[in-house]
Amino acid sequence: MLAQELDARKEQILWAVIREYVARAEPVPSEVVFQRYSLGVSPATIRSGMHALTEMGYLRQPHTSAGRVPTDRAYRLYVDRLLSQACGGSSPEPVLSAAERERIRRRLAARDRPEEALEEAAQTLASLTEYPSVVSTPGGPRRLRHVHLVPLAQDRALVVLVTESGAEQRVLRLERPASAEELEEVSRLVSRWLEAVAGQGEPLERLAAQAQSHRGLLASVVGQLRRAVAARGNVRFFVQGVANILKQPEFQDVRRVRPVLAALDREEVLRNVLLPAPPEVHVRIGRENPVEDMRDCSVVAAAYRAGGRAVGVLGVVGPTRMPYAR
Amino acid sequence: MLAQELDARKEQILWAVIREYVARAEPVPSEVVFQRYSLGVSPATIRSGMHALTEMGYLRQPHTSAGRVPTDRAYRLYVDRLLSQACGGSSPEPVLSAAERERIRRRLAARDRPEEALEEAAQTLASLTEYPSVVSTPGGPRRLRHVHLVPLAQDRALVVLVTESGAEQRVLRLERPASAEELEEVSRLVSRWLEAVAGQGEPLERLAAQAQSHRGLLASVVGQLRRAVAARGNVRFFVQGVANILKQPEFQDVRRVRPVLAALDREEVLRNVLLPAPPEVHVRIGRENPVEDMRDCSVVAAAYRAGGRAVGVLGVVGPTRMPYAR
DNA sequence: ATTAGCACTCGCGGATCTGGAGTGCTAGGC
DNA sequence: GCCTAGCACTCCAGATCCGCGAGTGCTAAT
């Protein structure tokens, strides 16, 4: 019943069933495994193997006279194997040709608004995989590089934060009206300060301390900055290709799709699902998913790098039956 | 056959059918109209009226022994009537209580990133209406107020454009490396120039002319600016609540939903559908929609104001059978 | 241990049937 | 002349039934 090691034959059979099911989205009978995967044994033997795998919890049969379907557990095993292989030897067949890669890189670089680039990335990923895909803005601790304050109205100013991985804006409510000159002075002060301490420890903390003794404006700017840099909450997500999920046979039923789509609409969910993705590539299969509504899906997430550090996350959401080979 | 004026009774019947169908999402039989709307006549008479309306193209019956369903044309008439009423007298029942309005206003103001505010707006609209909703960023010609150049890498700089309705960023590719000081100088030059000509005609054109005689950096900045300000293409959309559409009975069939969702994913489509929304409120019903894939839906769009001018658009996408009373 | 053969199970699609809903028509009433 | 009551007719929707085919699990033979 439990996962004692599979012998070679069982493993072959399991792999075959998984691959076949991924391709057909229908229960896989022994006959098909026999025809398409030359295992050197007859259907009957395959059947007995499948029987054993079923007892071990790797396969499942929808009803007595149907083929077998892999369980989450089977996928888990399969994916783990794939990943460890990929880490070991270099992956044998790059899913994207070099030319394709280059084209994508080009298209991304051509976008002259950083957000657009991310959106484009999500789009590309979605159309490439035919699944809904998500790309997050760079998040996590970053180092500020410049700050600009721009007057908006009497009591508001726009704070433009330039970090090592892009810029973002926030509206700052001023306690008292400030002149354009004053704003500019503060911008320059803060920016220069940032430059001065660049590369040493955590600049913000020190700046905050120094700001205590300054006038209110500087203090509130610093407050805003601290909030801005405080990792959580300032990650945004671009979701693209949601409609793709409707192509999948297992999502032909609206009642099954709704929770998933609803989940993709909610930022907290995306955060929960995508952000805890520490290693390079992470796969969550079915019920492994922290979010109840996504228990019918798998999520493949990977961090992407920008300027050295891994900062953002991108992911693909699909049925548990997806070609994990990516 | 054609739309000669409806007499009072026919109109009453038509209104009743529309309202009832909107509520039930099922063909409306004469009996129901008789019971729920006291028209003072018997079901038989109502039937005869419905028959006439059917011939005139306002109603439709899915099959011989089913009730009647309003056609696009009926909705069109109904909506026009509603809109002209709303413009005339003040609308009798504000759909949102004053308290609700205030709460929403608060929540929007609380967001300290402008984009987030828009996203929040879309979310609110979606949860309020229970339909997918779209909000666009302010678009159209705007007046620049400030420009900041920030060095990013050797050959790129970030251009932060501050307009009267917010800020946006673009990446500028530099022909030759420029020092931080140089960038700053150009920023200041352009910004001061913008201030100087504020309020008079079209500042950009003049700036462009003057820039011809300057060094390359200024020229390319100006080029970028012109592109940025050139209305089209820099509107972004926030779509929220797509999953809502799956609640609608007419979208229980995945094949019907897919095109719509796919359309909502594509920016050009949104542009086509939403942007040509000149008056305050605009309703596109079914086939009136310019986009083939949206022929099963209606789109209610309205411009929103920010600082005086109408700049952005927000809209709701629903089945043709939606409570147009909003 | 593998395999061929075979009986058995079960889901699925198609055909059939029936009840009910709602209409359209017609004949009679105000 | 318009409205209404009554009724026959139509047609969909759901239930039921049936037969087929698919695929398994067992068993006996190699």
Range list of β-strands (E), B10-132 = 59-60, 69-70
Which stretches in chain B have pLDDT values below 70? 1-5, 86-98, 109-112, 139-143, 164-167, 195-219, 224-225, 227-234, 276-280, 305-311, 322-326
pLDDT tens track for A124-180? 888 888 899 998 877 666 667 777 777 777 777 778 777 766 667 777 777 777 777
Cα A110 to Cα A94, A121, B170, B174: the distances in Å are 24, 12, 11, 13
Task: Tell if B44 CB is < 7 Å from nucleic strand C.
Answer: yes
Q: What pLDDT score does B189 carry?
A: 74
CB B137 within 8 A of CB A249: no
List the A61 CA – C10 C1' distance (angstroms): 12
CB A19 within 8 A of CB A31: no
Q: Which of A111, A150, A167 sits opposite B158 (nearest CB)?
A: A167
Q: What pLDDT score does A96 carry?
A: 60
Task: Tell if B49 CB is < 7 Å from nucleic strand C.
Answer: no
Closest to B18 in 3D by CA, of B106, B82, B94 = B82
Q: For tokens 């950083």, name the residue.
A: A114
Closest to A82 in 3D by CA, of A316, A320, A281 = A281
- Nucleotide nearest residue A29, measured CA to C1': D23
pTM of the full structure: 0.82
Q: Which nucleotides on chain D have any atom < 7 A from a protein Cβ?
A: 3-6, 9-12, 21-27
Q: Which of B167, B246, B251 sits opposite A160 (nearest CB)?
A: B167
Alpha-carbon span A148 to B228, nearest angstrom: 20
Q: What pLDDT score does A90 carry?
A: 44
Asked if B145 lies within 8 A of A150 by C-beta distance, the reply is yes
Task: Tell if A212 CB is < 7 Å from nucleic strand C.
Answer: no
Q: For tokens 């003049």, name the residue.
A: B206
Measured between beta carbons, which residues in chain B are less than 8 angstroms from residue A170?
112-113
Asked if B254 lies within 8 A of A265 by C-beta distance, the reply is no
List the A140 CA – D12 C1' distance (angstroms): 59
pLDDT tens track for A79-112? 888 888 765 544 444 556 667 777 777 777 666 6
The amino acid at A31: E
Q: For tokens 């490396």, name the residue.
A: B177
Mean pLDDT of A27-33: 94
The amino acid at B135: V
